[in-house]
Structure 1
Amino acid sequence: MRSVRRRAAAASVANRRETTRRDPAPSRWRYRYNRLMLSPGFTRFLRTGVPLILVSAISAIWVSQPANRELLMEKYAEVRDDFRNRPEFMVGSLAVKGADADLARQIGEVVQLEFPISSFELDLEGLRETVSAVNAVESARLQVRSGGILEVEVVQREPVAVWRAQDGLKLVDDTGAFIAPLEARADRPDLPLIVGDGARDALDEALALYAAARPLGEDMRGLVRMGERRWDVVLAGDQRVLLPSDGAVQALERVIALHEAKDLFGRDISAVDMRNAERPTLRLNPPAMAALRRTSETDGD
């Protein structure tokens, strides 16, 4: 009886062991591993993240060596220079538009470029500021044109008057900006002459006075700014018209109308003082004054 029980117990244990070995269910860790491998994020990490990390680590180790870094920089500089110096990027000439020959020569001197040069080495904004700093240039625009041409398009200042300063004659534009020195007045007799401190600041009024004085023709010599507040008109024979600080153009027109009616400036006078509009005054030259005095004495006798 005991032997039967033992055999039954042994068979039961064997059955349990066989049942355990044949169990198809995975273990807890294998289950977690399988779930992880089925995760899209983890699989993407294995396919891309791990290789990137390995490559980055290897690259970092390689770049950490000074000799390798120097070699890398040399190769980079070589490739960069080869790209920049390709024929399609080279600039071989300078073209200036909107300027006369003298200004074009000045611009060529100030840009200080040695051609051919790569367009990548051109500082167009810096060159524009350099060209704009030339006195005769009002504004400038630069661009690289096809065919390797650096085009400089400028708006040239046009002189409207000659300004006599302490250090000589100068050409100025309609804003009073200095353009260039002038050797002699005879070089630009077509332009008005202005003299004195503050003359450039009142250039608009000076040009209006010159326009009003057109009937005087060649007798008009120039305008002198007095006290930085009013003008004197200088005529041939050193005759002058002293104008007021306000209403100068109207005062000059009155004097010109009187001259056309009475040949005022054909008489022996030195100045017409219009500073007081209510009481214009004539100043005679010394001989005329002496003759006037003799006439007065004769009339008195």
Structure 2
Amino acid sequence: MDGGRRLAQSLMQARRKYAAALGWAKAPRAPRPRGALRWARFALPTLRIARALARRRGAGVVASALLLAGSLGYGVIRGGHMPAVAEALTDARDAVANTAGFRIAAVALSGNQQITREEILATAGITGRKSLFFFDVDVARAKLKTNPWIADATVLKLYPDRLQIGITERRPFALWQINGKVLVVADDGTVLEPYVARRFTRLPFIVGRGAQTRAKAFVAQLDRYPSIREQVRASVLVAERRWNLRLKSGIDVRLPEDEVERALERLVRLDNEKKLLSRDIVAIDLRLADRVAVRLSEDAAKAREDALKAAEKKAKRKGGDA
């Protein structure tokens, strides 16, 4: 038995040496890259299926195609290369169309005043590689409408190589102050951009949460009374219910929640008859329908108090003389 074991070991050693001499020895395994095990779990079953199909007559080509397609698709998805692959396919498709004479050679724009041509082309996805034949006008229109300045857009193909884009812009309506920031807004309340450009200084100034969506109706009411509107520095929405007017003189006019025009008509009448807005006052309260409350400035209040005291002393002296 012992001699037999030694003989077997000798034969095994000789076989290993012979295999090593012929280059059959297995090389040490390199560490598997990350994701290799996951790929193996997918690839091995697929390979088995392909081999099984290949055993059948006429199925070899089909199995090979399926295996190749599955391997490529899995690699693209697992590697996160799908956007790059899609872009490459789109570029290749456009290149073919461009060779046939469908390259976008000219873009005619109309309607843009606040936004530049470069902004429009970039937003719509128009580059020098794009072909008119494969350009999706619906997608381009949707992209353009993501710009807050653009209320609507039309995109029209003019074959073989021209594109026509019409822009309907929102108009800047007011400057809206909220949370310490000043923003340019349209009449529908859409925020267009932060206030930076000096060209917007003449827009109405509104303040408060919700003011941007209610300003259009209020400004229309205020426009009916130009003598008041010209003196307004800011319109402040209080508790999202009613408006106060901050005048350039510093007077605070408190308007009611309802019947705003009635209150403005009363203010115009009082100013015409009593020169109310020219007096030394800090606030006018028009919230009650049957009265008007006025708060004097500190100096005016002191002067009024001194005048009342002087009148009272004078009346007492007259009483004593009598």
Q: Mark the structure with the bigger radius of gyration.
A: 1
Candidates 264, 267, 270, aligned match of 1:258 = 270
Candidates 212, 216, 222, aligned match of 1:204 = 216
- Alignment-mate amino acid for residue 257 of structure 2: S
The percentage of counterpart residues that share the same residue type is: 27
Candidates 134, 140, 152, aligned match of 2:153 = 140
TM-score (norm 2): 0.64
| Contact 2:114–2:149 under 8 Å retained in 1 | no
Provide the rounded CA distance (Å) in 2 between the counterparts of 1:149 and 1:102: 21
| Contact 1:92–1:116 under 8 Å retained in 2 | no
Residue by residue, what CA displacement relative to the aligned partner does 1:129-155 show, whole Å, maximum 9, x if unpaired? Answer: 110010100011112223512222111
| Contact 2:132–2:162 under 8 Å retained in 1 | no
Structure 2: runs of 5+ lacking an equivalent:
1-57, 70-91, 314-322
CA change 1:104–1:250 in 2 (3 A) is farther
- Alignment-mate amino acid for residue 118 of structure 1: S
| Contact 1:88–1:148 under 8 Å retained in 2 | yes
| Contact 2:211–2:240 under 8 Å retained in 1 | yes
Matches within 5 A, 1:54-65: none
- Alignment-mate amino acid for residue 264 of structure 1: L
1:267 partnered with 2:279 = yes
Candidates 194, 200, 206, aligned match of 1:181 = 194
1:243 partnered with 2:255 = yes
Secondary structure of the residue that 1:194 maps to in structure 2? strand
Provide the rounded CA distance (Å) in 2 between the counterparts of 1:261 and 1:137: 47
Deviation at 1:166, TM superposition (A): 2.3
**Superposition misfits of 4+ residues, deviation over 4 angstroms:** 59-67, 79-83
Provide the rounded CA distance (Å) in 1 between the counterparts of 2:94 and 2:61: 25
Deviation at 1:95, TM superposition (A): 2.9
Provide the rounded CA distance (Å) in 2 between the counterparts of 1:98 and 1:80: 32
Secondary structure of the residue that 1:121 maps to in structure 2? coil
| Contact 2:256–2:287 under 8 Å retained in 1 | yes
Show the counterpart of 1:221.
Answer: 233
Secondary structure of the residue that 2:119 maps to in structure 1? helix
Residue by residue, what CA displacement relative to the aligned partner does 1:221-264 show, whole Å, maximum 9, x if unpaired? Answer: 12011111000011112111100000112201210221122211
Secondary structure of the residue that 1:238 maps to in structure 2? coil
Provide the rounded CA distance (Å) in 2 between the counterparts of 1:227 and 1:64: 71
Aligned residues: 234
Show the counterpart of 1:234.
Answer: 246
Candidates 311, 314, 322, aligned match of 1:299 = 311
Matches within 5 A, 1:1-301: 66=65, 84-100=97-113, 102-146=115-159, 148-183=161-196, 187-216=199-228, 218-301=230-313
Residue by residue, what CA displacement relative to the aligned partner does 1:266-300 show, whole Å, maximum 9, x if unpaired? Answer: 11011110111212101100111111111222232
Provide the rounded CA distance (Å) in 2 between the counterparts of 1:60 and 1:253: 91
Deviation at 1:183, TM superposition (A): 1.6
- Alignment-mate amino acid for residue 142 of structure 1: V
Structure 1: runs of 5+ lacking an equivalent:
1-58, 71-78
Q: Provide the alpha-carbon RMSD of the alignment.
A: 3.0
Deviation at 1:201, TM superposition (A): 2.4
Secondary structure of the residue that 1:118 maps to in structure 2? coil
| Contact 1:128–1:140 under 8 Å retained in 2 | yes
- Alignment-mate amino acid for residue 125 of structure 1: D
| Contact 1:208–1:249 under 8 Å retained in 2 | no
Provide the rounded CA distance (Å) in 2 between the counterparts of 1:60 and 1:150: 49
CA change 1:278–1:105 in 2 (3 A) is farther
- Alignment-mate amino acid for residue 115 of structure 1: G
| Contact 2:124–2:141 under 8 Å retained in 1 | no
| Contact 2:154–2:165 under 8 Å retained in 1 | yes
Show the counterpart of 2:45.
Answer: none
CA change 1:204–1:92 in 2 (3 A) is same
